[in-house]
Amino acid sequence: MFDKLIFILPVITLFAFLLNVFYRGNTVQSCLLFVLSLLPLMDLKITNEAWGGFKTFDAISFYCLIFLLKDFVTINLESRNNFYFLLFALLMVVILLGGLASEFPERTYLNLVKTLPVFIFGRFLILECCKDPDFHDQVIRALKVSYLTALSFLFMQWIIGLRFTFYPSLSPNTVDPVFHIIRYPGVFYDSQGSGQYLAMGSFLFLYVKENATRQSRWLSYLVFVLAVIGINIAGSRAAFGGFAIGLVMAFFMVAKNYRLLGLACLAVAYLVFTSISIHNGVFDRSKNLSEDLVFRQSIWSEAYDIAQKHQLLGIGSGNYQNYVIRHAQSQYLEVEDGQLVYFDQPENGYLKIMVELGFTGFAIFCLFLIVPLFKGLIFFIKGLVDKRVAYLMASLISWGIAFNTVYSIYDYRILLMVACMVILIITYPLKNVDTYDELV
């Protein structure tokens, strides 16, 4: 019953979008808030793979590009964000040239087209956040709404069982037959993606206004605690590790006067949590950590060797599995009935990008992440922004660490969350607006 949702929900989502346009107006802000409020539904397919595998987010983005073109093409030569536009343009050139040099150009050009919706969304979001500083808080509220939906779905799945899902079949790593562990994916196909999303979004509930009521503040903290439990249920070790590192970083940036007390509380919380932890994929799987690491390192080594052979432009976007089938046939897993499944990513997001886009594309991708974090840190140190920016940075860092073990941005929900964190950091309102343009 529940698996039929994958066919029904895309139609409902697009119909709801049209109703949103009709009742709330055909404006950039209403479209952006619709996408962010219904983020769990943005990765649902509206065409099969033979027709490109396009999703609800693709349809909404291209609609916005066509009917809101005037807002999209507005160019401010003095804008502080032209650097990111340049980075995206360079990335498109790398993907295009990589397709020309690739053995599998068709897949590369399809990926080029499917990269455009994220750029459309990102450009609209940057323009609106720069134009209206109050829109910044609206974006965060919308992200919180979608996060609560995903978290509630996860707990319902935990209670009802894996049949409560969007997908007819789930990732093979959902059930571990060796340790008899279920890693609940929630609204996602894969539990690792679910863990990354939950880890990123959890920091939004530490982002509380200074004038918030005590009740509102404690409700946010309660959701944060539930989010930690949700990460545990998802069973992703990398996501939990990224979350822990992001939390420590945010704590050191924000709670300067309570660092020692906070570290002690974190240590106690860790001991209590692990001692009463339900059976899951985070702590119960630690016994095979070294074996898993050896396995991953062998794949990473082979992937880096491929990248060395195609240093400048890579093998072409989206071509990892095709390349492996032809040139590196040792990268496979044996599943049920003796079937072989070749890897479509080397268990490392950064290496996948390096292999497919070469060192040039990899450098551009890293700049998208490093520059906002560096800018946010500098502004924080100088006291130009309030301390809550640390939670957005912690969110991005938590994902950046987990991305080291799995390529997850094929899923729009994770990609959009990452894009939002980058954009919210680079457009974060300064305390003294008059000095902003001089500083950037």
More reliable by pLDDT, 113 or 261: 113
| Pair 26, 68: CB distance under 8 Å | yes
Higher pLDDT, 425 or 435: 425
Chain position carrying tokens 């790398």: 94
What crossing angle do the helices spanning 237-254 and 259-276 adopt, rounded to 10°?
160
Residues in a beta bridge with 96: none
Calculate the alpha carbon distances from 130 to 90, 117, 383 in Å.
23, 20, 20
Angle between helices 412-426 and 105-131 in degrees, nearest 10: 40
In this predicted structure, what is the pLDDT of residue 414? 97
Q: State what percent of residues in the chain have pLDDT above 90.
A: 53
Q: Which two tokens stand for residue 284?
A: 């119960």
- Judged against a pLDDT cut of 70, whether residue 231 lies above it is answered with yes
More confident position, 290 or 147: 147
Task: Find out whether 392 and 428 touch, Cβ atoms under 8 Å.
Answer: yes
pLDDT of 425 strictly over 70 = yes
260 has pLDDT over 70: no
Counting Cα atoms < 13 Å in the Cβ hemisphere of 298 gives 10
d(CA 100, CA 78): 34
What pLDDT, on the 0 to 100 scale, is given for residue 59? 96
In which band, very low, low, confident or very high, does the pLDDT at 289 lie, cut at 50, 70 and 90?
low
Rounded-to-integer distance, Cα 415 and Cα 411, Å: 6
Band (pLDDT 50/70/90 cuts) for residue 123 is very high
The whole-number pLDDT of residue 51 equals 85
pLDDT band at 178 (very low <50, low <70, confident <90, very high): low
> What band does 276 get if pLDDT is binned at 50, 70 and 90?
very low
Q: Give the 3-state DSSP-derived string for the chain, with helices as H, strands as E and coil as C.
A: CHHHHHHHHHHHHHHHHHHHHHHHCCCHHHHHHHHHHCHHHCCCECCCHHHCCCEHHHHHHHHHHHHCHHHHCCCCCCCCCHHHHHHHHHHHHHHHHHHHHCCCHHHHHHHHHHHHHHHHHHHHHHHHHHHCCCHHHHHHHHHHHHHHHHHHHHHHHHHHCCCCCCCCCCCHHHEECCCCEECCCCCCCCHHHHHHHHHHHHHHHCCCCCCCCHHHHHHHHHHHHHHHHHHHHHCCHHHHHHHHHHHHHHHHHHCHHHHHHHHHHHHHHHHHHHHHCCCCCCCCCHHHHHHHHHHHHHHHHHHHHHHHHCCCCCCCCCCHHHHHHHHCCCCEEECHHHCEEECCCCCCHHHHHHHHHHHHHHHHHHHHHHHHHHHHHHHHHCCCCCCCHHHHHHHHHHHHHHCCCCCCCCCHHHHHHHHHHHHHHHCCCCCCHHHHHHHC
C-alpha dihedral over 306, 311, 312, 315, to 10 degrees?
A: 0
Position 10 scores a pLDDT of 92
Query: With bands split at pLDDT 50, 70 and 90, how would you rate the model's confidence at 437?
Result: very low
Residue 266's pLDDT is 60
Q: Which pLDDT belongs to residue 438?
A: 39
The larger pLDDT score, comparing residue 15 to residue 78, is at 15
Q: Does 345 score more than 50 pLDDT?
A: yes
Average pLDDT rounded to a whole number, residues 175-193: 84
Residue 333's pLDDT is 74
| Lowest mean per-residue pLDDT among 38-47, 84-93, 282-291 | 282-291
First to last CA, the chain: 53
d(CA 50, CA 63): 22
Per-residue confidence band for 288, with pLDDT thresholds at 50, 70 and 90: low
